Chain A
Amino acid sequence: SQTIHQWPATLVQPVGSPLSLECTVEGTSNPNLYWYRQAAGRGLQLLFYSVGIGQISSEVPQNLSASRPQDRQFILSSKKLLLSDSGFYLCAWRKLGNNEQFFGPGTRLTVL
């Protein structure tokens, strides 16, 4: 069976500090991968998606970036966090040929 992992589960960071969130998927190959953010009072917002190693598409211009160094690894990064980066970050995967996306447990980020 497939599983998706995210870490850390929670994170408190000062404004201006760097960020690295990691997502890995097990039990499948060549998945589509997605990063979403869920801020208070707002819907899930798609940040990045990837159809393969090294292939990243950005949906919203911002101070965040994403990378996919391996088939089942997806990383979300920032060089300098802003207060507005606080939120619940969710990684999701989709098996090719299927429609539904499955979400990881999420990382709750608080920027102070």
Chain B
Amino acid sequence: GQNIDQPTEMTATEGAIVQINCTYQTSGFNGLFWYQQHAGEAPTFLSYNVLDGLEEKGRFSSFLSRSKGYSYLLLKELQMKDSASYLCAVRSGAGSYQLTFGKGTKLSVIP
């Protein structure tokens, strides 16, 4: 089976750093994705990790440890517009491009 866990909600202060964790247990692994979804809108792609380590992209970074079944998304210099849900998704199976999504973490950025 596929199981992806993320915290339901988080709150952080404008200008701060926040780390959103994701753990997964899937039958096969072929990449982990992070998406951002503002309320009422479609998800937008943030990052993709398939090898262990940290991928940095501006204020956002994503980390993967395949042996631990663990990833995190790091958001630096938080802005009010970063208030959104952050979705962790795993692609399992070498020939499969289907993604299994977690329920998402709702991040609220406060002044």
Contacts and interface: CB of A to CB of B under 8 A. Distances in A.
Interface residues of B, number: 22
Interface residues of A, number: 22
B104 A103 contact: no
Contacts of B31: 99
Given A90-B43, A102-B45, A105-B41, A41 B99 contact: no
A103 B44 contact: yes
B103 A101 contact: no
Interface string A2-37: 000000000000000000000000000000101010
Given A43-B87, A46-B98, A49-B98, A100 B45 contact: yes
B106 to A, nearest CB: 11
Nearest to B104: A43
Contacts of B91: 99
A101 B99 contact: yes
Contacts of A43: 4, 87, 101-104
B70 interface: no
A44 B91 CA distance: 13
Given A99-B31, A99-B91, A46 B45 contact: no
Interface of B: 4, 31, 33, 40-45, 48, 50, 87, 89, 91, 97-104
Interface of A: 32, 34, 36, 41-46, 49, 59, 90, 94, 99-106, 108
Q: Please provide the 8 A-B residue pairs with the shortest distance between their CB atoms, ordered closest to farther.
A: A103-B42, A44-B101, A43-B103, A43-B101, A100-B45, A106-B42, A103-B43, A99-B48
